[in-house]
Chains A and B, each alone.
Chain A
Amino acid sequence: MCGIVGYIGERQAQSILLNCLHRLEYRGYDSCGIAVGSDVEVYKDVVRVKVLEKTSPSLTGVIGIGHTRWATHGEPSQVNAHPHCDCTGKIAVVHNGVINNFQKLRQQLTSEGHNFISETDTEVIPHLIEKYYDGDLEKAVETALREVDGSYAIIVLMAGEPKLVAARKDSPLIIGVGDRENFIASDVPAILNYTSRVIYLEDDDIGVVTTESIKVRRDGAEVNRKEHKILWSVKDAQKAGYEHFMLKEIHEQPKVIRDTISGYVSMAEPIADLALLGDAGLEDMLILACGTSYHAALIGKYIIEELIRIPVRAELASEFNYWGQTSARSRTIVITQSGETADALKAMKRLKGEGCRVVAITNVVGSTASRIADQIVYTRAGPEISVAATKSFIAQLMALYWLTLPYSKIDIRRLDSLVTGLRQLPSKVQQVLDNEAVISECAKQLSKYQDVFFISRGINFPVALEGALKLKEISYIHAEGYAAGELKHGPFALLGSDTPVVAIVAQDNTYEAMLTNIKEIKARRSPVIAVVEEGDEEVGELVDSVISVPQVDAIFSPVINTVVMQLLAYYTAKQRGCPIDFPRNLAKSVTVE
Chain B
Amino acid sequence: MKQAVILAAGEGQRLRPFTVNRPKVMLSIADKPILQYVVESLAQNGIRNIVLVVGYRKEQVFDYMGSGEQFGVEITYVTQEKQVGTAHALARAKEVIEKEFLVLPGDNLIGADTIAQFVAIKPEAVLVKRVDNPVRYGVVTIDRGKVAEVVEKPEQAISNIVSTGIYSFTKQIFDFIEPELGLPDVINNMIAQGHSIKARETDGTWLDVIYPWDILNLNDAILRQIQTNLGGTIETGVSLKGQVSVGKDTVIRPNSYIAGPVVIGNGCDIGPNVCILPATSIGNNVVVSPFTQIKNSVIGDDVNIGPCCTIQDSVIDKSCIIKGHFTACSGENEVRINHEHHLVSVGAMLGEGCSLGNSVVAQPGVIVGNYSQIQPLRLISGKLPDRSLVF
Hey, which bits of chain A sit against chain B, CB under 8 A?
Answer: 172, 187-188, 200, 202, 226, 228-232, 237-238, 240-242, 248, 251-252, 254-255, 258-259, 261-263, 265-266, 268, 420, 423-424, 426-428, 430-431, 433-434, 436, 550
Say whether, besides A172-B72, A241-B77, A550-B353, A226 and B62 are in contact (CB < 8 Å).
Answer: no
Q: How far is the CA of A189 from the CA of B46 in the complex (A)?
A: 20
Q: How far is the CA of A258 from the CA of B59 in the complex (A)?
A: 18
Q: Is the CB of A261 within 8 A of B267?
A: yes
Q: A228-B3, A251-B63, A431-B353 are in contact. List 9 more A-B contacts (CB 8 A).
A: A200-B74, A229-B98, A231-B95, A240-B67, A263-B267, A268-B251, A427-B318, A427-B352, A428-B319
Say whether, besides A262-B267, A424-B319, A248 and B67 are in contact (CB < 8 Å).
Answer: no
Q: Is the CB of B353 within 8 A of A423?
A: no
Q: How far is the CA of A237 from the CA of B75 in the complex (A)?
A: 8
Say whether, besides A172-B72, A252-B63, A255-B63, A266 and B232 are in contact (CB < 8 Å).
Answer: yes
Q: A23 to chain B: closest CB distance in Å?
A: 13
Q: Is the CB of B287 within 8 A of A420?
A: yes
Q: Is the CB of B304 within 8 A of A258?
A: no
Per-residue 0/1 for B89-122: is the Cβ within 8 Å of any A Cβ (1 yes, 0 no)? 0000001111000000000000000000000000
Interface size class of B (residues with CB under 8 A): 35 or more
Q: Does B170 contact A (CB under 8 A)?
A: no
Q: Does B65 contact A (CB under 8 A)?
A: yes
- B359: A residues at CB distance < 8 A: none
Q: Is the CB of A231 within 8 A of B98?
A: yes
Per-residue 0/1 for B307-327: is the Cβ within 8 Å of any A Cβ (1 yes, 0 no)? 000000000001101000000
Q: Does B69 contact A (CB under 8 A)?
A: yes
Q: Does B180 contact A (CB under 8 A)?
A: no
Q: Which of B77, B95, B98, B250 has the most CB of A within 10 A?
A: B77
Q: How far is the CA of A420 from the CA of B3 in the complex (A)?
A: 45
Hey, which bits of chain B sit against chain A, CB under 8 A?
Answer: 2-3, 21, 46, 48-49, 54, 57-59, 61-63, 65-67, 69, 72, 74-77, 95-98, 232-233, 248-251, 266-267, 269, 284-285, 287, 301-302, 304, 318-319, 321, 352-353
Q: How far is the CA of A28 from the CA of B73 in the complex (A)?
A: 20
Q: Which of A202, A231, A252, A550 has the most CB of B within 10 A?
A: A231
Q: Is the CB of B249 within 8 A of A266?
A: yes
- B3: A residues at CB distance < 8 A: 228
Say whether, besides A229-B98, A251-B62, A255-B63, A427 and B267 are in contact (CB < 8 Å).
Answer: no
Q: Is the CB of A258 within 8 A of B302?
A: yes
Q: Is the CB of A262 within 8 A of B266?
A: yes
Q: B391 to chain A: closest CB distance in Å?
A: 14
Q: Which residue of B lies closest to A434 (CB)?
A: B21
Q: Is the CB of A427 within 8 A of B59?
A: no
Q: Which residue of A lies closest to B63 (CB)?
A: A251
Q: B206 to chain A: closest CB distance in Å?
A: 25
Q: Which 3 A-B pairs rank lowest in CB-CB distance, beginning with the nearest? A: A262-B267, A427-B319, A266-B249
Q: A101 to chain B: closest CB distance in Å?
A: 19
Q: Is the CB of B285 within 8 A of A426?
A: yes
Q: B327 to chain A: closest CB distance in Å?
A: 21
Q: Is the CB of A241 within 8 A of B21?
A: no
Q: Is the CB of B353 within 8 A of A427?
A: yes
- B301: A residues at CB distance < 8 A: 258, 426-427
Q: How far is the CA of A237 from the CA of B68 in the complex (A)?
A: 10
Q: B82 to chain A: closest CB distance in Å?
A: 15
Q: How far is the CA of A255 from the CA of B269 in the complex (A)?
A: 18
Q: Is the CB of B302 within 8 A of A426?
A: yes
Q: B63 to chain A: closest CB distance in Å?
A: 5
Q: How far is the CA of A436 from the CA of B285 in the complex (A)?
A: 24
Q: How far is the CA of A237 from the CA of B66 in the complex (A)?
A: 9
Q: Which of A228, A255, A259, A266 has the most CB of B within 10 A?
A: A266
B61 interface neighbour in A226, A241, A265, A423, Cβ under 8 Å: A241
Q: Which residue of A lies closest to B304 (CB)?
A: A420
